Structure 1
Amino acid sequence: MSQSMGTEEAIKRWDNFAENYSENHTEQGDLHKEIFLNPALFSLMGNVKNKKVLDAGCGEGYLSRILSKRGAAVTAVDYSPTMIEIAKERTPKELNVHYSHGNCEDLHQLEDKSFDFIVSNMVIQDLADHEKAFRTMYRLLADKGIFIFSILHPCFVTPESGWERTENGEKLHWNVDKYFYEGVYEQPLGDKENMLLFHRTLTTYINTLIHTGFVLESIIEPQPSKDMLKKYPSFGEDFRCPDFIVFKLRK
């Protein structure tokens, strides 16, 4: 783990991985987004019709397309130029989505108080400076606007976490270690190189949000629904510990 690696290195690695990563996405995202994150995000957002929404870290754009189909006027940014190009290619022209390249730590090209909703789906853990990102989201939200974001659960997905297994490969329990380490580490996700994640404790996340000025309204630790378990039975193991956490905040 090298603290010298920051957001610029993360951008480079995600840009190199963008095409292969996007191949695993349908119009509902990948399996984890379909099963866990989408139900949580949309239960917290509610009706977005005629709302100005920022998809902060849009990736290949599946969530932007869903939001547009639900009647939102969507602005979408991502720090990977390749992701933005893929998103544009996948988005029909009739959908009301405006894509642009931008790092969520500093979206200076966007005006203050210009969005009713901001959603950031599995992005904040990919940024070295979460404080700048939260301040940026606060600046961009209209008064009383809503900020919803999802991340890997920092209590369970840590720099050294993973399944403890028997000699036959049976999963015994989920190990967690180095929870109080805060900084960058590599996760075995990618093609030729690992992706970078920036770990913080739950205390750091919540206190930073409060100090930024946000009011915490709700938290969800997503579980698979009965319908999703019928469709994907292997995800029953996700009742053992949560992989994700989703926050809803108000300015």
Structure 2
Amino acid sequence: MKKNIKTEDTIKRWDNFAETYSKSHTEQGDVHKEIFLNPTLFSLMGTVKNKKILDAGCGEGYLSRLLAKSDANVTAVDYSPKMIEIARERTPNELSIHYIEGNCEDLHSLEDASFDLIVSNMVIHDLENYKKTFKEMFRLLVDGGTFVFSILHPCFVTPGSGWEKTENGEKLHWNVDNYFYEGAYEQKLGNTEKMVYFHRTLTTYINTLIQTGFTLECMVEPVPSKEMLEKYPSFEEDFRCADFMVFKLKK
């Protein structure tokens, strides 16, 4: 666990990892986004046609492109310059997406009440100052606007969590540790890169959102659909432990 790590350090790591990360993404994102997150996000967002949407932490831009193809008016921001570069390269000219390099903790270049909907897909746990981020999302939404975001499940994906296995590699159970630790920790992503995540408890997330002024409408712990299990049968194991949590909030 790394108490002294700041958002600036995560930006550098994501910039270095951007090319490798993007190679794992198709137009549906990576396999976890395809199976778990996309169906949940689009279900919670509802109709996006003609809505002004902020993709807060767009990465290589797959979600922005899906939204633009659904006739949304999309602005996409990411704190990694390399990610923004890749997102622009991957976006066809006919898709009008406004890409901005910026940190979701401080988006002062964007005006108050600019968006009908904000979606942030697997980003909040990459940010040190989550309180300021939530305040920024609240500021940028119109009254009655919707904020949908996904994160690693804070109850199960914790510093030191992982599968307990037999000598033959059989998965016995999922270990959880250090749940009440709040702060930065390193986690291996891919073959070599160690990324930084910021862990918080579920209590901290919900209370901070309420204190910011949001109304919690829905929480979802995504599981694979029957159709996805037919395509990816190995993900049957994800009924044993939740990997992700998705929130829908109103301003």
Q: TM-score, normalised by structure 2?
A: 0.99
Q: Is the 8 A contact 2:55 2:120 kept in 1?
A: yes
Structure-1 residue corresponding to 2:239: 239
Report what 2:53 is aligned to: 53
SS at match of 2:189: coil
Q: How does 1:74-223 map to 2 (within 5 A)?
A: 74-190=74-190, 192-223=192-223
8 Å contact 1:216–1:249 — kept in the other structure?
Answer: yes
Give the residue type in structure 2 aligned to 1:160.
G
For the residue of structure 2 that corresponds to 1:64, the secondary structure is helix
Output one character per residue of 1:95-151: Cα deviation in whole Å (capped at 9) or x when no partner: 121001000000000000000000000000000010000000000000000000000
CA distance 1:81–1:191, shift in 2 (3 Å): farther
Q: Does 1:67 align with 2:78?
A: no
Gaps of 5+ in 2: none
Percent identical: 75
Provide closer, same or farther for how the CA distance between residues 193 and 31 of structure 1 changes in structure 2, counting only shifts above 3 A.
Answer: closer
SS of 2:131 mapped into structure 1: helix
| Root-mean-square deviation (Å) | 0.7
Q: What is the SS of the residue equivalent to 1:167? A: coil
Letter in 2 for 1:10: T
Residues 137 and 147, structure 1, Cα contact 8 Å, conserved in 2: yes
Measure, in 1, the Cα distance between the counterparts of 2:214 and 2:74: 22
C-alpha distance in 2 between matches for 1:134 and 1:50:
24
Structure 1 position 2, deviation (Å): 2.0
Instruction: State the one-letter code of the partner of 2:23.
Output: E
AA matched with 2:13: R
| Conservation of the 8 A alpha-carbon contact between 1:17 and 1:191 | no
Structure 1 contact 104–133 (Cα < 8 Å) conserved: yes
Count of residues in correspondence between the two structures:
251
Q: Deviations over 1:7-58 (max 9, x none)?
A: 0000000000000100000000000000000000000011000000000000
Query: Which blocks of at least 5 consecutive residues in structure 1 are unaligned?
Result: none
The one-letter code of the counterpart of 2:122 is M
The whole-number CA distance in structure 2 between the counterparts of 1:84 and 1:191 is: 23
Q: Which letter maps to 1:37?
A: L
Retained in 1: the 8 A contact 2:137–2:147? yes
**Residues in 1 aligned to 2:162 and 2:192: alpha-carbon distance in whole angstroms:** 22
Q: 2: CA distance between counterparts of 1:193 and 1:155?
A: 24
Q: Write out aligned runs for 1:2-17 (5 A).
A: 2-17=2-17
Alignment partners' CA distance in 2, 1:126 and 1:66: 23
Shift of 1:190: 4.7
Task: Work out the CA distance in 1 between the residues paired with 2:166 and 2:20.
Answer: 32
Shift of the alpha carbon at 1:3? 1.1
The alpha carbon displacement at 1:4 in A equals 1.0
Alpha-carbon offset, residue 193 of structure 1:
3.6
Specify the SS of the correspondent of 1:147.
strand
Give the letter for the 2:90 counterpart.
Answer: R
AA partner of residue 40 (structure 2): A
